[in-house]
Structure 1
């Protein structure tokens, strides 16, 4: 043994403090963006059956949620709206008194320093559940852009700090950037869902938002999960059109894409830890099959390690508590 030469990597793992000293990737509370589902009506706090611990909240229940978010030190929320009435063009998305617009005004009145990110899409508001205008059973790209730009402007007028378009129509960033600029909101950034795959991991979200397509699927506008290089083309287009952040969605099955996007573009990269990823861990933890805290922190750290700067996650409140321990 005396003559053997080998490297002793374990020297840097010898204690908790030693491991912390050399740790390469760190998860911070400022990395977290917490999604909130706001609904029309009164006295509604309804747990989403497929997303334990996540609720549909009416405006009168929003204060309690925001009090907790702020007390935990979370600085950013992402708002999704669930209207009572829907129509073919999703007019509730761009109505001045739409649910996201009203929630934005309320939160800004309570906590003006909170960063409000408004999800900018039509699917929660259309009676057909698709993210654009429909004609003869087809999702029309260009007519949808006008409605998305109107939605973004109405959200900015309500006080949203960041516009986050999630529809995957071609040219959506350019149309929204033009609409915002012409309305005098040239300083409002766009957090683009630049790389959004047609994923089975969105199932619980569709329960929460009531946005399941009434016919067909979204594979003509969301990306094929098998494709890698296409993600770079999509992200490149959004960068050229004026995006300020790039979202990769989902994340756990697409960590290679997160790294590709981070390596290729000099913009903040946002990982979306989506509903299916959340619910899988919650279900396993409730059955005692995994330790929830350990596996969540490991999962989110992997997203940071892959290259994400920010993480949209339904675990944000739990993680904030764990990081404060």
Structure 2
């Protein structure tokens, strides 16, 4: 029996990459079942959340973040992991209208019906915003391309065609509960797209992709990502790999491209940023949770790595430190 993650649908134990993807957590913010009559063009503005598109019926076109028009056909699925601005249209050159200008009606939970009220041939899409529990500068998200297409990754991920087939059935039949089923399938498909991209990425023998593919270093990276609030000393990390302190530090630095201490510090501060912005934690609580002796020492470390003081992040987010 294979147990799966409730967030990603990935096997419960399938190596470092699966562990990190499980820790990544894909949380559907909202999904839209879009039935649009030609001619139409939707502008999707830049946002922090990832964008996801699945083409259910009739071909359409996408103006990519790089400015290139790409033809999409039924069964195509796209993930824009950092939510870059783009346009999806029935044909190139049609003036785009922001998605907020269309008619939006709730279907169930976080699933909505989107339409434009026209009478031309209708294109059927399933579009979503997916919130990652990491920001775009995280090593995993920061290295991804602006857009990832499922069809281009099928050879490296045999489960993708089955997911696309299941989504095609749900999006076209519009049965009761299909919105929720599509949201669930989209979560699993997004995780599969990311996993296939990581496993099949080329490049040199250094850096994050090479590190996660390395059996020993990959296990260490997974441990760091799954427990960023743990006091990860070099000795503790070396034990995870089953090597001496010096041998581990030398190999880690050679493959990852930075020292273990610096990598751990970056991941901890990215976690701190999430707690401050998404979970609304006070700076003092975050500092204590990460084991800092004082709020001041945590703030200095945070500013050195993130580039801004943690109190400023909360001020920008409209949160008072007295709360």
| TM-score when normalising by structure 1 | 0.26
Which protein is bigger by CA-based radius of gyration? 2
